[in-house]
Structure 1
Amino acid sequence: MNEQGRDPLIEMAMEQQELFPIREVSRLTGVNAVTLRAWERRYGLIQPTRTDSGHRLYSQADIDDIRRILGWLERGVAVSKVGSILARGHALAGQAGRATDTWLHWQHQARQAVQRFDQARLHRLFDEVFAASTLDQVFAEVFMPVWQDLVVDQRGYGQASEWLFLDQFLRCRVFARLQLAHVPRSRTVLLAPLPGQCHELELLVTSLTLGCEEIGVAPLASGQPLQELALVCERLKPDALVLFSHQSPTSEITRRLTRLAAVLECPLLLAGEAAEAAQDSLAGSPVACLGAQSSVMRQRLRQFLAGQLDT
């Protein structure tokens, strides 16, 4: 019997362990079975359990990972690089222990509020999460996973509107936090997106989480021309310019970054998954890589500005 047929063992596993056959996973995620098998064989991205007859069975966690993979692919990350991103996320979840259940509960509440377009409920939830979690956890563990799922899955009626609703809500709340944090700091850093390679919310969240007591981070507007950044830095005189992207930089972008670093009067740094993907290609260049995880980016930025981190 092939994977499209009915197998009593599959039915029993689905009932007892909430496992799903590959055809159901394809329906839920929009990823065809051939691609799911290829991700498993070539990249080890998803490792479903098997029945005695060899049929693949996927857990809800597997389905969640598939949606995360789609999110990273949508943002331009190569499929060969997604495995390390997932592994890093799983490691962080494992370290979190029981807190993960709380984050999943909050994610569920956020999804319910978004489905109802209930802004008052979202505001209450945001305040509750903010009071009980670190700044990094508010976004990395609760709100951005929900936002990323909605970025990927907009096929159903109303899903695009749900994403726009949550995106607008989060941009307003993050912008408000940035305004509250807008006080003089000993160091100032400009944060700009690589052209066309991130959403405004991702840039704003990075601005909020990258700053600290001694370092203020000012985001530049989406659409900022790369070729004019030298002029912007000449006039604003920041202590560093950080470029942000979740897409692997092309060889042309890498060359442009190297040329930009040569004419800037301040250091040039790269952040986001682009920094993880470009570490080898930028080794020895004047461009420093900060990484993709908020706490790591923040630590490396402090070290770099203190002269303790080489490019």
Structure 2
Amino acid sequence: MNNIKTSFSIRDLEHLSGIKAHTIRIWEKRYGLLQPERTDTNIRTYGLASLQKLLNIVYLYNDGYKISKIAKIDEAEIPALVNEIQLSKNSDGHIINEFKLAMMNYDQALFMNTYNTLLSNKDFHTIFYDIFIPLLNEMGLLWQTDTITPAQEHFITALIKQKIITNTEKFQQLEPFKTDKVFVLFLPENEIHDIGLLFINHEIIRRGYQTIFLGPAVPLENLAGLMEHFKNVYFISYFTLQPSMDKIEKYVHDFVRIGNNYNNPNLWILGRQVQFLHKERLPKTISVFTSIEQIVAEI
């Protein structure tokens, strides 16, 4: 295993496991479930084995096991018990923890093995909704609390993107059979977070429509050529960090201004930044969505 980060604070464990640091200390003191090392200033630090053990303990605890009972289980038997419960219940919590460990360790093999296990009973778009979306949401919180680094985030998102692209290619081999709409997917300038847009592209193609995927950082003026080329075009964009709060209204109205020279195409938008739009002021050609599921349901 290619270990990069091997030492974790108790706050890291709290953020990764969802169990409060105070509770972890109680489990440690009362039941001896973890054995931290101490720095020269007497601060607890925990290794990867402790992190993995804690994630397994939390899984059993959330499944209804009392912590006093877990403490009596032989440490070597805990992973097997977790796997047995996970297989019998087809539970997603343990799977998400496996992807977290793959992320923390830059462990591509663990990612691939976990993903391939999922494929035995889920198709790809179900895996994305049930596993990857919750994982990505948790990663956002872990990044905000400095529990993971940008490099770890990029590592795991690159692997997820790889799976989206691989599965999208299967449908791109087929001719589109729905012709009432053509979808153009793009991100605004200085926006690079394209994983959600890639999955929306996958879902549109899977439903039989033609898409043109332009990807990150597309100047708004560059869309004019597509407006001229297609008469039934729908644009989709994902505003994660851009346009900024003070520029988003102007951005949307600039799109409408450009579209007025053509066929007034529709723009569908979602992402964190749409909260700063005054939706009641938007032209009817602009539609705001709150989730990937909602926008896919509209297709």
Shift of 1:193: 1.4
Q: In the alignment, is residue 162 of structure 1 matched against residue 152 of structure 2?
A: yes
Question: Do the aligned residues in 1 keep the contact of 2:191 with 2:217 (CA within 8 Å)?
Answer: no
Work out whether residues 233 and 264 of structure 1, in 8 Å CA contact, stay in contact via their aligned partners in 2. Answer: yes
Deviation of 1:288 after TM superposition, in Å, equals: 3.3
Shift in CA distance, 295/211, structure 1 to aligned 2, threshold 3 Å: farther
Q: % of aligned pairs identical?
A: 11
Q: Equivalences for 1:99-248 in 2 at 5 Å?
A: 102-133=91-122, 135-154=124-143, 159-182=149-172, 183-185=174-176, 186-187=178-179, 188-197=182-191, 199-235=193-229, 239-246=233-240
Question: Per the alignment, do residues 258 and 102 of structure 1 end up closer, same or farther by CA in structure 2, a change over 3 Å counting?
Answer: same
Structure 1 residues 146 and 196: CA distance shift in structure 2, 3 A: same
Match of 1:294 among 278, 292, 295: 292
The total of aligned residue pairs comes to 209
Q: Deviations over 1:82-115 (max 9, x none)?
A: xxxxxxxxxxxxxxxxx99822221111111222
User: Quick one: distance in 2 between partners of 1:217 and 1:279?
Assistant: 29
**Which one-letter code corresponds to 1:281 in the other structure?**
E
1:158 positional shift: 6.8
Question: Retained in 1: the 8 A contact 2:227–2:265?
Answer: no
Do the aligned partners of 1:275 and 1:289 also contact (CA within 8 Å) in 2? no
Change (3 A) 1:250 1:288: closer
Q: TM-score, normalised by structure 2?
A: 0.57
- Return the letter of the residue paired with 2:214: L
SS of 2:215's partner is: coil
RMSD of aligned Cα (Å): 3.5
User: What is the distance in 1 between the residues matched to 2:232 and 2:194?
Assistant: 21
Query: Residue 203 of structure 1 contacts residue 244 of structure 1 at CA under 8 Å; is this kept in 2?
Result: yes
Cα distance, 1:246–1:101 mapped onto 2, change above 3 Å: farther
2:250 paired residue among 249, 252, 260: 252
Using a 3 Å threshold, how does the CA distance of structure 1 residues 181 and 290 change in structure 2: closer, same or farther? farther
Q: Distance in 1 between matches of 2:206 and 2:184?
A: 14
Q: 2:216 is paired with a residue of what secondary structure?
A: coil
For 2:279, the equivalent position in structure 1 comes to 280
Q: TM-score, normalised on structure 1? A: 0.55
Note the residue ranges of structure 2 that are not aligned, 5 or more in a row. Answer: 1-17, 26-57, 59-87
SS state at 1:265 partner: coil
Greater displacement, 177-186 / 231-240: 231-240
Asked whether the 8 Å contact 2:238–2:269 carries over to 1, the reply is yes
Secondary structure of the 1:122 match is helix
Structure 1, unmatched stretches of 5+, are 1-16, 25-59, 61-98, 302-311
Asked which structure has the greater CA Rg, the reply is 2
